[in-house]
Copies of this chain bind each other. A is one copy, B any other.
């Protein structure tokens, strides 16, 4: 059995980024933390923490940190089935990959269903999410692609509804005679990142020639909405983010009543049982409340 007091110190340092904060998290002096980490490094014969602002883990250090978190997950399971255990010294941290639009719209609601847990969210840029799950770097992920990760269970969440939106002013400037293929190929649009195919997908549903308009790159959900509001271009925005603007007339749909539904999936690693089960339940519940259940074409914006 490994020396867990030592490992906890290491994990706390990497987690908090400093020996001092780690010390106060563990209720000891920074000196003690330093000694623990040093001892661990000496025993293993390799550096585990790169000292700096903030302190960060080496490859070996990160791997050990990951192990500590896995054990913590098992412990939290144990606590659920066995009352009377001493309370966890550090709150449970769930590292989860989320796509940006989910985070911007409904995922916060799901997080409120897990009181007592801390979340370490990772925006799954350029499809690293599957890799992260595979490597065990995250414990679960919500992705717009159904890419199945071995060793994980996948639950459909429902679809996030997107609307092609722009400001009324923008519409007047670029579509004075209505939306047609000609104007669509000239009017600038917004694109989240290189992986974002949403605009192209929507264009394919309204035009058979699939025009390729000039585009801005705006890799943030709210910035995407703001860009549309400012008249920079049109873009596919989550209904949930723009419904108010649409109702108030600050934004309009390029083609009214032509949304695009992107199915989302919850992928959950199977290291541990009941905590993740609770989490999955909370996420599915939150998703059910907000996402559209009928199925739709797949493949979405992952960054």
Do B136 and A1 touch (CB < 8 A)? no
Q: Does A82 reach chain B (CB closer than 8 Å)?
A: yes
| Smallest beta-carbon distance A279→chain B, Å | 15
Chain B residues, CB < 8 A from A67: 74-75, 77-78
191-221 of chain A: CB within 8 A of chain B: none
Give A240 to B33 CA distance when docked, in angstroms: 60
Partner of A1, one of B8, B82, B151: B8
Number of residues on chain A facing chain B (CB within 8 A)? 36
Rounded to whole angstroms, the CA-CA distance of A43 and B84 in the bound complex is 8
The answer on a CB contact under 8 Å between B82 and A63 is yes
- Asked if B70 and A82 make an inter-chain contact with CB atoms under 8 angstroms apart, the answer reads no
Complex copy number for this chain: 2
Cα separation A68 to B64 with both chains bound (whole Å) = 17
CA of A5 to CA of B5 in the docked complex: distance in angstroms? 10
Confirm or deny: A54 has a beta carbon within 8 angstroms of a beta carbon on chain B: no
Residues of B within 8 A of A86 (CB): 2, 43
In whole angstroms, how far apart are the Cα atoms of A231 and B70 in the complex?
Answer: 56
Q: Say yes or no for A44: interface residue by CB 8 A criterion.
A: yes
Q: Sorted from nearest, which 4 A-B pairs have the closest CB atoms?
A: A270-B270, A1-B8, A67-B78, A1-B4
Known contacts A2-B75, A64-B82, A151-B273, then 14 further A-B pairs from the complex at CB < 8 Å, ordered by chain A residue: A1-B7, A1-B90, A4-B4, A44-B84, A46-B84, A60-B84, A63-B81, A67-B75, A71-B74, A74-B74, A136-B273, A151-B153, A151-B270, A271-B271
